[in-house]
Amino acid sequence: MSGPSTYVPQTGLTRWLDTRLPLVRFAHDTMLSFPTPRNLNFWYAFGAILTFCLGVQIVTGIVLAMHYTPSALVGSIPDSNLAFDSVESIMRDVNYGWLLRYVHANGASMFFLAVYIHMFRGLYYGSYKAPREVLWILGVIIYVLMVLTAFMGYSLVWGNMSFWAVTVITNLFSSLDQVIPHLGSAIATWLWGGFAVGDATLNRFFSLHYLMPFVIAGVVGLHIWALHVPGNNNPLGIDVKGPQDTVPFHPYYTVKDGFYVALFAILFAALVFYAPDLVGDPNNFIPANPVVTPADIVPEWYLRPFYAMLRSIPQQLAGVLVLAGALLTLVFIPWLDSSRVRSNRFRPVMKVFFWVFVADCILLGYCGSEGVDAAWHLGGIELSLVWVARIATAYYYIYFWVLMPLIGLIERPLPLPDSIAKSVLGASAAPAE
């Protein structure tokens, strides 16, 4: 679908550059003339939105790093520390530091909101199926890198919740001692840079948090490259039959994506200016204190579905394996789905289970947000949310490992359109001259 290059240099300079470093040709072929299915809807704009989010996080992160002190040593305020003090200084003393910090902190939430929509869209329209398996796998790698980056960034505030979140999560590696004696403890000690979470841990996480966005940007480049080889999937999930099914990426989708990025930026600005602490935790306004544990230790909202899985398993090693397995499962989705039809638009049975899966993920996030002893009281019956999380975790695995392979074999899909052009323009659509 990518096809041969249509770029023709118009000046002596561009002809000279094109024979030595064809950057202009590359930009033209990937962002201007690239043939794109003509029926892409709103949900396909989130690729551009995610690019916008990554750029915002990198720019604001670089500026914040100029004023941040990655040290857990005691600062000028009693019971405080230099890292916590530097964050407060950014908020109070640096020109527009409050804006930079709120954009960066809330930008992480908006980034994950966009990436979850992007992933669910890919699942619904079957964008992981051949020939786009590598495209999907690279997307999963980006997601895992985002999780690691966000976790390390959350620790840099060095408030009491972030300190204890780091302590709890890094201690999970100690469960590997049950597999190979001393292995988990050695990994935890290596991560900490000592025998407990402290100054060395903070320095390591700061260095990695600064580095990881550039690694993510590199993998995003590979992700876009892998997209341009087979071309975009589309809401119908059918292959492009010819030029009549496509339009150039510019101006059709550059304008469309720009419009939706602007709408997203307005929503982003509303969060930053009117509710900047909406998704924050009050305990992070308290300096890290290794002797005072918060009542409930929870990660940020975008990691809580996986935290609910981990917490629902009473045995630590089993919980770690369930958590790791939930992420690893995403890699195998292209081969777990046995249906030849990509889009759930034409799969009435799978569509129902897909929306149940979406509700299941939201339920897991809710369970991860509540306390360990939280329960539902239903007509005098007390249902612990731990059991709700166990049922939701079971459905997560059943959806991918049982329903995807099985339904693809027994389901009778609806008839597919002959082509994208006929679906968009009607049966009388004629091929382009």
Q: Are residues 259 and 310 in the same domain?
A: no
Q: Are residues 119 and 224 in the same domain?
A: yes
Residue 430 lies in a domain: no
d(CA 256, CA 263): 11
Q: Are residues 64 and 165 in the same domain?
A: yes
Q: Are residues 276 and 168 in the same domain?
A: yes
Q: Are residues 253 and 107 in the same domain?
A: yes
Domain count, the chain: 2
Of the residues 276, 293, 310, the one at which a domain ends? 293
The CATH number that applies at residue 163 is 1.20.810.10
Residue 180 lies in a domain: yes
Per-position DSSP letters for 217-278, written without gaps between them: HHHHHHHHHHHHTT----TT-----SGGGEEEHHHHHHHHHHHHHHHHHHHHHHHHHH-TTT
Residue 191: which residues within 8 A CB-CB, separation 6 or more?
170, 173, 201, 204
d(CA 117, CA 10): 41
Q: Which helix (H) or strand (E) holds 382?
A: strand 381-384
Tokens representing 396? 């997560």
Residue 29 lies in a domain: no
For strand 375-378 and strand 246-248, is the pairing parallel, antiparallel, or unpaired? unpaired
Residue 406 lies in a domain: yes
Of the residues 293, 315, 331, the one at which a domain ends? 293
**Could you list the pLDDT tens digit for every one of the 433 residues in the chain?**
456 788 999 999 999 999 999 999 988 988 888 999 999 999 999 999 999 999 999 999 999 999 999 998 765 555 558 999 999 999 999 999 999 999 999 999 999 999 999 999 999 999 999 999 999 999 999 999 999 999 999 999 999 999 999 999 999 999 999 999 999 999 999 999 999 999 999 999 999 999 999 999 999 999 999 999 999 999 999 999 999 999 999 999 999 999 999 999 999 999 999 999 999 899 999 999 998 999 888 899 999 999 999 999 999 999 999 999 999 999 999 999 999 999 999 999 999 999 999 999 999 999 999 988 899 988 778 899 999 999 999 999 999 999 999 999 999 999 999 999 988 776 544 443 3
Q: Are residues 196 and 129 in the same domain?
A: yes
The CATH number that applies at residue 386 is 1.10.287.980
Q: Are residues 314 and 266 in the same domain?
A: no
Residue 432 lies in a domain: no
d(CA 400, CA 326): 10
Are the C-beta atoms of 90 and 101 separated by less than 8 Å? yes
Q: Are residues 286 and 388 in the same domain?
A: no
Chain-centroid distance, C-alpha 145: 9
Range of the domain at 144: 39-293
Q: Are residues 153 and 202 in the same domain?
A: yes
DSSP code of 43? G
Q: Are residues 252 and 316 in the same domain?
A: no
Q: Are residues 277 and 340 in the same domain?
A: no
Residue 420 lies in a domain: no
Are the C-beta atoms of 152 and 209 separated by less than 8 Å? yes
Q: Are residues 271 and 321 in the same domain?
A: no
Residue 53 lies in a domain: yes
